[in-house]
Structure 1
Amino acid sequence: MSDDVEPSVIARAMEALNAGDLETATILNRELVRLHDRMGITIVGITEDSAETTMELNADTAGSRLGTVHGGMLATFADVTAALALTRSLDGTGHIQVTTDMHIRYFRQPKSGPLTARATVVHRGRLILSAECVICDAEGRDLARATATYMLAQLPS
């Protein structure tokens, strides 16, 4: 996130997520982080302890060979989805989650898209949160699995 993003945009994005307005949350998320826009990340579901997103297969997410996805894009996709799964843990706290550690295992390249990521909260501490994420292709084949840990950081005022 760039330094020139107004905290009100972050607050509005969190409000939209907590209200279940996934279309607005997707638009604001793409505004906050332009890479998410280029990746075509769309929020399709959120609960108290999980999130589901999709990602387009396009020239901006491609690897070095035709039909592949860059591993960094898959890691970013997992990080975004895992962080979203933790969003409802932050309701009204004035904090955001900041990635402190992530481990990702890659299994295969997709046969088709869009890709789907599903993340589940596995730990909610006072300052440390953790989630697991699975990324699948349009055929439901696991492409990657990730675990991520986040620290709560104060929102800028």
Structure 2
Amino acid sequence: MPDDIQWLVPLPEIKSRYGTNSIFGEHFTEIFRGRTVLEMPITATTAGGARGGVHGGVLASLADIGVVAAVLSTCRVGEQMQGTSELNISYLRPAVGSKVRVESNVIKKGRTLAVGDVDLLSDQGKLIAKARVTYSISQTG
């Protein structure tokens, strides 16, 4: 990407902003323009799903959190994030083990919508869920 782009939020600020507002103990391990990786330890608090694994609502929330940060990393001055428009998730296996890794990528960003693709992986690297999240953006300038 060109160096002269005026980004809405610097990458380090995204990490600090979302790193201090952890809901489930999740934390970002990587943040790039259009891509984020976060991890969450599996604890009794996040349980409630199949075979004692992570509850599906927690997994959906992690997918949303990952895409929000990935989309924010691509917003320029004059753009404003509005909220999640759609979230679809397919649960493929129970989320058991010690942690969940969430890899989010912006696959398309237009003037009003951004679409993110999310892989939720076990600590063994197995795909436990796949999500697609659409996020609404407005132009302020």
TM over 0.5: yes
Corresponding residue for residue 73 of structure 1: 58
5 Å matches for 1:36-75? 36-37=22-23, 39-63=24-48, 67-75=52-60
Counterpart code for 1:80: I
Q: Which runs of 5+ in 1 are unaligned?
A: 1-13, 31-35
Instruction: Please say if 1:100 is aligned against 2:85.
Output: yes
Higher helix share: 1
Give the equivalent residue in structure 1 for 2:3: none
Unaligned runs of 5+ in 2: 1-7
Change (3 A) 1:57 1:151: same
Partner of 2:112: 127
TM-score by length of 2: 0.82
- Say which structure is richer in strand: 2
Q: Which moved more, 1:56-65 or 1:130-139?
A: 56-65
Secondary structure class of the residue paired with 1:25: helix
Structure 1-normalised TM-score? 0.74
CA distance in 2, matches of 1:105, 1:65: 14
User: Percent identity of the aligned residues?
Assistant: 23
State the number of aligned residues.
133
The runs of at least 4 consecutive aligned structure 1 residues that moved more than 4 Å come to none
C-alpha separation in 2, matches of 1:64 and 1:118: 21
For residue 87 of structure 1, the aligned residue among 65, 68, 72 is 72
Name the structure, 1 or 2, with higher relative contact order (CA <8 Å, separation 6+): 2
